[in-house]
A and B are shown apart, each in its own frame.
Chain A
């Protein structure tokens, strides 16, 4: 025999227990945005945005490297929230839209580039700094997001963690794009994408442990 209380007692205790924490969509979004915003504010104060920011934004390719992550971040967060709420549909296919747009930009630039310039275009001159900066800028928001998402009910913790990582890193990427002067889609779709993939993977690995319940 075990010493457990009767189920009826448990039910009565649960009914009068203090209400559990609630995963608030708006609250999570503002707190994560705050974390990314603080990190970016620090970064842009120290490193400064690119000198030619305003004229550069007239170039649709430069605009794209800002807008794509800006679209991706709320989308990934919305999906993360849904994934932590059982019984709600999870349209993961929506992630294909920004991904396809990025691939399209990459492909369009690829066919316009002479073969000898493709590799230099891809490698750019700041790939390592890009990867390092984006992952570092996302880290606080990712950590905060994972803590907040413990209040949810993620049926697939790795998926939810990955989406939180994607949301955090997409927001960080949008800010980093204000600093980065590499304007070729050959560079930014690949390296921004890789940086976000690293954060997504980190979120998935951490989520697997942190978001279990």
Chain B
């Protein structure tokens, strides 16, 4: 995944963006956790360690891209069946979640499981489906990019948090300024700005969660 300057990217991968800009900062996993971001690897690792909330979040986040994939591929089938197939895939993700090897990226695992179940589901319903793995990866990656926040109007969301935090998020995440520059513009220390940015991103994620 390239770190493009586009909006969806900036919203989707705040942790990655922060890492790219501030390479000296702490350890990636910790960073992602602090940021309240939606790192699938971290979520599934926690889920497999027994964290039901993390698994709920993981399933919730992979569902829209999976639904998109099934819709895009299953035009020959009645749309009513699409949701059935989606549920079969989600069930398989649950039943086979321990077959993901911690330390390996989640996405290739997810693509392989999804492809296996989707092809199987279509076959059982009498439709031969040719679905190369690259296609699954492509559709899921494309669908996965708009993060919860990007699904809503960014300005409306920023209007729901305090003005200084909103200005900070706008400067760093939307306009691509460094945290230090943004802090100076707002009369904050760099450290205070980083903390405020973390809190703001977390608050925005929660808002997005609620607005779903």
Contacts and interface: CB of A to CB of B under 8 A. Distances in A.
Nearest to A10: B87
Interface residues of A, number: 26
B96 A19 contact: no
A11 interface: yes
Nearest to B55: A15
Contacts of A20: 94-98
A23 interface: yes
Interface stretch (B1-9, B104-112, B166-174): B104-112
Contacts of A22: 98
Contact of A14 (B50, B80, B94, B101): B94
B53 A15 contact: yes
Contacts of B108: 86-87
Interface stretch (B30-38, B56-64, B186-194, B201-209): B56-64
B45 to A, nearest CB: 13
B91 interface: yes
B113 interface: yes
B96 A11 contact: no
Interface string B84-102: 1011001110111111110
B84 A87 contact: no
Interface residues of B, number: 36
Interface in A13-66: 14-17, 19-23
Interface in B5-19: none
Contacts of A17: 94
A155 interface: yes
Given A14-B59, A155-B116, A23 B99 contact: yes
Contact of A10 (B91, B100, B113): B91
B83 interface: yes
B91 A14 contact: yes
A2 B101 contact: no
A86 B95 CA distance: 13
A112 interface: no
A208 interface: no
B98 A4 contact: no
Given A1-B80, A7-B87, A85-B101, A213 B95 contact: yes
B77 interface: no
A198 interface: no
A90 B59 CA distance: 27
A16 B112 contact: no
Contacts of B154: none
Contacts of A178: none
B87 A4 contact: yes
B98 A21 contact: yes
A213 to B, nearest CB: 7
Nearest to B117: A213
Given A21-B98, A86-B113, A15 B90 contact: no
Contact of A11 (B63, B107, B111): B63
19 contacts: A4-B83, A11-B60, A14-B55, A14-B94, A15-B52, A15-B59, A20-B95, A21-B98, A23-B99, A86-B100, A87-B105, A87-B111, A88-B101, A151-B98, A153-B99, A153-B116, A155-B112, A213-B92, A213-B95
Interface of B: 48, 50, 52-53, 55-56, 59-60, 63, 80, 83-84, 86-87, 90-92, 94-101, 104-113, 116
Interface of A: 1-2, 4, 7, 10-12, 14-17, 19-23, 84-88, 151-153, 155, 213
